[in-house]
Amino acid sequence: MRNTDNLTDREFEVYNLCVIEDKTQAEAAEERGFTQGYISMTLKKAKEKVTNAELKKASPEAYVRKCWDIFLDTGTMPDYLDVELEFVIRWLLLDLLPFAHWYYGVGEFCSHLMTYSLFDEDKIKEDIAKYEEIVDGEERLHFEEYYGERPPIVQAVYVRLMTEMNRRQQQLEGAMKCELTVLEQGAVFSALERR
């Protein structure tokens, strides 16, 4: 059963009728003597409270997935996370295409953005400092010029995306080297067989 502890008595009553007993809003309104509009508004509020209570207990991955699912269903996210995500994306706009190239789809990319911006807030400054120590040349200049004065959350998301992009790039290069080694071995065996 879903966590309904934080609902008012009226919200619980409406939630119970419409969700647990599976009655239509019109049936619930008639049974309790309310308008269908009142039932609709109360049910919406109750569902939001239940969802938020579940989100607070979820793992970071489950939290992000649930927020993404809610966004796909309603066009908004709990606690205005969609607004925060949009804020970060707007600052990353110039670099969005190279980052997006390394993800399977928009959902995975947005999930990473949310994970990077919502969790490990205590590590934000540490991640930025670590990145600034290892990066040099054009990449460092780009970070300093474009992200140097941005809010730490934007800097951290950029740093975490760069780190992930570099990790994926190294993984791909490693896989390609393995594939070339296998192809080279195959060519050697073929040459030996022909002799």
Span 108-159, pLDDT tens digits: 888 888 877 776 677 788 888 888 888 888 988 999 999 989 988 889 889 8
Q: Are residues 32 and 72 both part of a single domain?
A: no
- The average pLDDT across 166-186 equals 73
Domain match, 104 and 179 both? yes
Average pLDDT rounded to a whole number, residues 17-29: 93
Quote the tokens at residue 55. 């989100």
Q: What is the pLDDT of residue 184?
A: 58
Q: Is residue 34 part of a domain?
A: yes
Question: Does residue 83 share a domain with residue 28?
Answer: no
If asked whether residues 36 and 87 sit together in one domain, one would say no
Q: Are 76 and 167 within one domain?
A: yes
- For residues 183 and 153, state if they share a domain: yes
To the nearest 10°, the Cα dihedral for 86, 153, 141, 161? -70
Q: Are residues 30 and 89 in the same domain?
A: no
| Contact call for residues 46 and 12 (beta carbons, < 8 A) | yes
